[in-house]
A = this chain, B = another copy of it.
Amino acid sequence: MQQMQNLQTLHNDALVIGVDVGGTKIAAGVVDNQGNVAGRIQVPTDTSSPEDTLRSIAASVKRVLHDAGSNAERISAIGLGIPGMVDPVKGMSLLAVNLGWRNVSVKDWLERELGLPCSIENDVSAATLGESLYGVGKQQEYMVYLSLGTGIAARAIIHGQLYRGAHGMAGEVGHVVIDPSGPLCRCGAKGCLEALAAGPALAQAALRELQSGKASSLQEYQAADLRAEHVFEAAVHNDALALQILQKAGLQLAYGICLLVMGYDPQLVVIGGGLASEQSPLIASIRAGIEQWRTRAPVFHAMLNVDAIRVSGLQGDAGIVGAAALVAAQRKIVL
């Protein structure tokens, strides 16, 4: 009964289910029109086939509806954040590499299956919207949201609205080539920011150094188990290798932020995604990197105050809240 009690605390109007679709798990919850979340659940993503993945999404929504009990009738719509290229007007996923999707009619399928209207958008776009409506970016005219996780991408709020560009790809800073001699990115280019500084890249950088004989507390991990979070933990305990990896990544991510600031001249840059928390040593490294770039580049210094770099306050809920926010926002987005 705890979920139902939670739902009772939500604002009475316009309840929506927000669904954050990832390559390994799907998170969903009920969101009210003030960004409050209740009845959070999580299910594994079945990527055996596009239809199986759609069934996983439908299962997540059905579980939320079931947990909501008699409150389910207050839920009027579903919003979904999906990785990759999305056409929100047609309700299609055009390309989602880690789901194995290409031209999948997500909206039609789910609306038939669930009997509720669905809105879909790119997951980072959804999180950006959530951050601008309910997070630290509230009431900012010009905001950039940088998502750091297994991938890296950014989106911008311009004149208070999500900015998509011609293909919904505006802000794809993760696939800017930063180091042409760097590691191969899953996009096919070499040395993209994502291939250098996203979660898997940090773990791989540690592995390469360990294999070349560097001493580190990270040696205790099997190669297949080593994750970015272990690098963070080692850095907190002053492991020299971990600190060196995060220092380099921090400078590269700060450069990515320079690029975003040059493009959008924002009032605020919000860092979110799975790797972002105020206490994370990665955030400390990014802040140090920003300081270095501000010293090196006077124009960047003039355009960005240090206070203008903030960490998302929505944390794990950003994806769910943002996806739910799509339902109302898509009536306003200029596509």
Q: Measuring CB to CB, which residues of chain A are less than 8 angstroms from any residue of chain B?
A: 141-142, 158-159, 163-173, 175-177, 180, 187-190, 192, 255, 258-260, 262-267, 293, 296-300, 302-303, 334
Contacts and interface: CB of A to CB of B under 8 A. Distances in A.
Given A175-B297, A190-B296, A303 B259 contact: no
15 contacts: A141-B166, A158-B163, A165-B264, A166-B266, A166-B303, A167-B265, A171-B263, A175-B300, A176-B258, A177-B293, A177-B296, A189-B297, A189-B298, A192-B297, A259-B263
A130 B188 CA distance: 38
Contacts of A171: 262-263, 265
A168 B258 contact: no
A9 to B, nearest CB: 37
B189 A303 contact: no
A265 B156 CA distance: 12
Please indicate which of the listed interface residues A188, A262, A334 has the most CB atoms of chain B within 10 Å of its own CB.
Answer: A262
Nearest to A298: B188
Contact of A172 (B188, B303, B334): B303
A170 B265 CA distance: 5
Given A165-B265, A171-B263, A189-B298, 6 more contacts: A158-B163, A165-B264, A175-B300, A177-B255, A177-B297, A259-B263
Nearest to A159: B334
A300 B266 CA distance: 23
A266 B188 contact: no
A172 B264 CA distance: 9
Contacts of A190: 296
A262 B262 CA distance: 12
A206 B319 CA distance: 52
Closest 4 CB pairs of A and B: A165-B265, A263-B263, A170-B265, A175-B299
A321 to B, nearest CB: 24
A137 to B, nearest CB: 13
Given A267-B166, A334-B159, A262 B299 contact: no
A266 B298 contact: no
Contacts of A303: 166-167, 169, 172
A140 B159 CA distance: 19
A177 to B, nearest CB: 6
A262 B265 contact: no
Please indicate which of the listed interface residues A168, A188, A190 has the most CB atoms of chain B within 10 Å of its own CB.
Answer: A188
Given A158-B158, A159-B334, A167-B303, A176 B296 contact: no
A263 B259 CA distance: 8
A260 to B, nearest CB: 7
Contacts of A168: 265
A216 to B, nearest CB: 28
Contact of A264 (B255, B263, B296): B263
A284 B258 CA distance: 29
Contact of A263 (B167, B170, B302): B170
A263 B167 CA distance: 12
B189 A296 contact: yes
Nearest to A170: B265
